[in-house]
Amino acid sequence: MDDLIEQRVTFSRLFDIYEPALTEKQKEAFRLHVMEDWSLSEVAQRLEVTRQGAHDLVQRARGRLLELEGLLGFSAREAAWESRMEKLREWRRRHLSRIPAEAAAELEALLATEEGEV
């Protein structure tokens, strides 16, 4: 079950990044089936295609999202960036009291900018 949730989160993240590269029908089919948990029959009815057509749209969207991530790697880079930021925040928590005030203020300003607090 955890794999299913992880897969859903991964595809949602990829969809957020690469959505503009999908066709309108792929976007709609993927959004309804994967992100809103509609059945393929419901998606087919909504898009006025066969159930097989809805399945094909979802599969093509998944394939395209994976293809783009393989080529461009934006999601992987974002995850690596978030990991580095978390390590930096942890370092700050452990060492902030031991660094000069000016350096601490600059570090806080930089982290606030990255965290959207400015």
DSSP character for 105? H
> How many residues make up the chain in this entry?
118
- Name which of 83, 111, 81, 79 is nearest 96 in CA terms: 111
Per-residue pLDDT of 86-110, as tens digits, reads 898 888 888 888 888 888 888 888 8
- Name which of 102, 23, 103, 108 is nearest 58 in CA terms: 23
58 pLDDT exceeds 60?
Answer: yes
Q: pTM of the predicted model, to two decimals?
A: 0.72
Q: Where are the alpha helices (DSSP H) in the chain?
A: 2-18, 24-30, 40-47, 51-72, 74-95, 101-114
Would you place residue 118 in the very low, low, confident or very high pLDDT band (cuts 50, 70, 90)? very low
The whole-number pLDDT of residue 115 equals: 67
